[in-house]
Amino acid sequence: MNKKLIDLRSDTVTRPTEEMRKAMYNAEVGDDVFQEDPTVNQLQEYAADLLGKESSLFVLSGVMGNQISLNVLTNPGDEVICERDAHIFQYESGSPAALSGIQLMPIDGVSGVITPEQIEPYIRPESAYYMPRSKVIEIENTHNRAGGTIQPIENIIKVKDLAKKYKLFYHLDGARIWNASVATKISVKEYASHFDTISCCLSKGLGAPVGSIIAGSKDFIKEAFRVRKAWGGGTRQLGILAAAGLYALKNNISRLEEDNEKAKMIAGVVNNCKNLEIDMKSVQTNILIFQSKNISIEDALWNCKQKGLLLSTGKPGFLRAITHLDVSFDEVKTVMKIIEEVFN
C-alpha cells in the first residue's frame, strides 16, 4: 500500500472537512449574477462586518482579488508601489500590465517590509507628466515569499500616513491576514482599518476549497462587481462555494494558532540540522523558508519525498514548508524526524 505523503507544499492543499461539505450541501442558492444568491450575500455581509468595511465581494481566487482591486484603483499608465518579493509582482502572471495596463514599482524590503523612508523617493512628482502616475501602495501581510512574516503595525500605520499625504490608495494583500491576526492578537478589523482595500483568502489556512474576499467602500465594491463580471468571474449558484467560505470564517480562524505552533516546532528541528539554515526571526506564522547546504534543492525535495514528505521551493534557492489544517501534531513529529534524517 502507498504510504500517505505529508504535504507541506502549501496551505492550499487542504480538503474540505465533513462539516464544511455539509454546509456546502445544505447551502441555499440563487443566481449570483442577479445578486440573488442568499449564501453569497450572507458571506459578503459577514466578511464586510468582520473586516470593518462598508462592503465586500466574493471572488474566485487571491489573484483575482488583488487584480480586480488594482484595476478599480488605477487607470492605464499608473504605477503601484510594492515590495520586490510581493505576490502581485512575482506570482500573478504579469496581470497588472496585461489586465490593467499599469506597472509596478518594486522596492527591496527587509522580511517583506518597506518603510515610508524607502517608499517616499519613489513617489512620482505630480508635475512630472512624462512619468507614470503613482496611484497605489500595496503591502502583503503575512508576506509569503519572506516566510510568512508579519508586517509591524507601526509601519503599516506610517505607510498609511505617507499614502494619505500623497493621496495614494493603500491596498493590502491579506491572503493570510488571519495568520497574522492570531499571532499578534491584532484583530483583522484593526488591520483592515488602515487600508482602503483588502483582499484575503478563504482557501489557504482557513481550508475552503475556493475563494477570496475583497473589501472596501461601497463604491469600490460596486466597481469591483462590474470588473469581476467583465473578467468572466460572474457565476451563478455560487452559494455552494460561499457556504464553505462562510463556514471557514466562522470556524477556522482561531485554530490557525495551531498551524503557527506546528511551524515553530518544525523550525526548531530545521535550525538544528547541520545541512540546513533558517533565519529564526522569520518564523512568525505558518510558513517556513530555509536553505539547504551541501544538498541540492532537487535532491533535498526528492529525498524528503522518498520518506513521505512533500516540500516546495519558495524564492530561488530556498525550500519552503507550510503547515495547515490537514497536518496533525503526530504528522508534524514525523516531519521533524524525516527532516533530521535527510539533513543531518
Ligand X SMILES: Cc1ncc(COP(=O)(O)O)c(C=O)c1O
Residues forming contacts to ligand X in the complex (CB under 6 A) are 61-63, 66, 87, 140, 144, 173, 175, 201, 203, 212
Beta-carbon-side half-sphere exposure of residue 243 (alpha carbons within 13 Å):
20
Bridge partners (DSSP) of residue 79 are: 103, 134
DSSP 150: P
Closest approach, Cβ 70 to ligand X, in A, equals: 12
CB of 71 or CB of 212, closer to ligand X = 212
CB of 173 or CB of 223, closer to ligand X = 173
CB 321 within 8 A of CB 288: yes
Which residue has the CB atom at the shortest distance from ligand X?
A: 62
Closest approach, Cβ 63 to ligand X, in A, equals: 4
CB 285 within 8 A of CB 263: yes
CB of 82 or CB of 175, closer to ligand X = 175
CB 145 within 8 A of CB 177: no
Residue 274, C-beta contacts closer than 8 angstroms, at least 6 positions apart: 293, 343, 344
CB of 47 or CB of 338, closer to ligand X = 47
CB of 146 or CB of 342, closer to ligand X = 146
Using the structure block, give the residue that is written with the C-alpha cell 491579506: 174
Closest approach, Cβ 87 to ligand X, in A, equals: 4
CB 96 within 8 A of CB 88: yes
3-state DSSP assignment of residue 209: coil
CB of 178 or CB of 343, closer to ligand X = 178
3-state DSSP assignment of residue 133: strand
CB of 91 or CB of 302, closer to ligand X = 91
CB 43 within 8 A of CB 246: yes
Closest approach, Cβ 129 to ligand X, in A, equals: 33
Closest approach, Cβ 44 to ligand X, in A, equals: 17
Closest approach, Cβ 141 to ligand X, in A, equals: 9
3-state DSSP assignment of residue 14: coil
Nearest to 196 by CA among 176, 214, 222: 214
Nearest to 172 by CA among 204, 202, 131, 136: 136
Closest approach, Cβ 150 to ligand X, in A, equals: 13
